[in-house]
Amino acid sequence: MAFQKGVALVLIIEEDIKTLLNDNRRKLIGAQVSMEDTTSDTVTIANSCFISSTVAREIIGKKEKDVIKAREKINEKGKNKRVNLKTDLVVNQFKEVDVISSKNVIGFIPGDEKPDEYIVVSAHYDHLGKKGDDIYNGADDNGSGTSSVLTLANAFSQADKDRVHFKRNIVFLLVTGEEKGLLGSEFYTHHPIIPLENTVADVNIDMVGRVDDKYQHNPNYIYVIGSDRISQKLHDMNEADNQKYSQLVLDYTYNDEADPNRYYYRSDHYNFAKNGIPSVFFFNGTHADYHRPTDTVDKINFEKMEKVDRHIFHLIWSLAMMDGNLK
């Protein structure tokens, strides 16, 4: 509204500006990352600036009483009441833009019976980087998913060498920028190397190397998210492979649309699902080291991770070999 009315700058008076700054440092003065091809230059909000009550008092000067009175009136009647102030305030705001580039990594195993159809296996390989001296290792998030995709690629390429004929192509996709808002997968779905209409399914792996509180006593589980949202057949295939081969506890807690964590919208499969592509997301749930420098490799439960990866292997195999379509 302020922008529409031509307001040049909104000064927001903050009683406790120190606390505000400490609690929101990154949001207020940190860099924001967005994808170049989706960032538009059109401004839709007025510029704003937080000021302390001390600065506000200096700007208001002798008119403090008038301002207080006007504020009371506004609160009473719910109507605007303006006080004009003369001030020498000068504000300079500069927007600094850096262009950073990053890469998605892709490879595929060719199929022969349905050469136009592709199964995508995805994981994000980025994490939070470094803050000060703290290194965010991201062993579970998402070293586990990244190495799972590489291991699966290795296994399927071995099968290919052993002259297994896959009906469909199997694509291995490692994406960047997930932690900044699913940017790598968003870019991929905006600029797909394989037409999205030929992309049969996305199997996404994000955090599969740890055990959460709920499963402390049974690591043989995995949360399954999204499998039934677009294709019941995908869901059924995942269940059938689990019964036949893996016998993991497939937990659908986070697939509930009412779940407040909204994980369905928070990893890279979502950019595929958004485009109508049946997608499934494998996830071990969070833990005390989630998004902390302490997410280190010594805490990875490799035995559990192997079981999950073997299960995902079977699902990808089934998808690559299935008769008919998912939808």
Binding interface with Zn ion (CB under 5 A): 141-142, 206
Is there a contact between 269 and 281 (Cβ–Cβ < 8 Å)?
Answer: yes
Pick 167 or 180: Cβ nearer Zn ion: 180
The Cα 115–Cα 138 span in angstroms is 36
**Minimum CB–partner distance for residue 126 and Zn ion (Å):** 9
Least CB distance from residue 101 to Zn ion, whole Å? 21
| Nearest distance, CB of residue 262 and Zn ion, angstroms | 14
**Minimum Å distance from CB 141 to Zn ion?**
4
Alpha carbons 116 and 138: distance in angstroms, whole number: 35
Shortest Cβ 207–Zn ion spacing (Å): 6
Number of Cβ within a 10 Å radius of residue 288: 11
Residue 179 CB, nearest distance to Zn ion (Å)?
7
**Smallest gap from residue 206 Cβ to Zn ion (A):** 4
What is the distance, to the nearest Å, from the Cα of residue 274 to the centroid of all Cα atoms in its chain? 13
* Rounded-to-integer distance, Cα 257 and Cα 51, Å: 41
Nearer CB in complex with Zn ion: 142/147? 142
Question: Which C-beta is closer to Zn ion: that of 142 or that of 227?
Answer: 142
**Dist. CA 29–CA 137, nearest whole Å:** 24
> DSSP per residue over 57-77, as a string?
HHHHGGGHHHHHHHHHHHHHH
Nearer to Zn ion, 142 or 279 (CB): 142
Question: Please, which residue, 198 or 301, has the CB nearer to Zn ion?
Answer: 301
Comparing CB distances to Zn ion, the nearer of 203 and 322 is 203
CA-wise closest residue to 136 among 31, 286, 292:
292
- CA dist., res. 29 & res. 26, Å (int): 6
d(CA 55, CA 46): 20
CA 51 vs CA 58, 274, 277: distances in Å:
11, 41, 48
**Residue whose entry in the numeric block shows the structure tokens 């968003």:** 186
Nearer to Zn ion, 305 or 322 (CB): 305
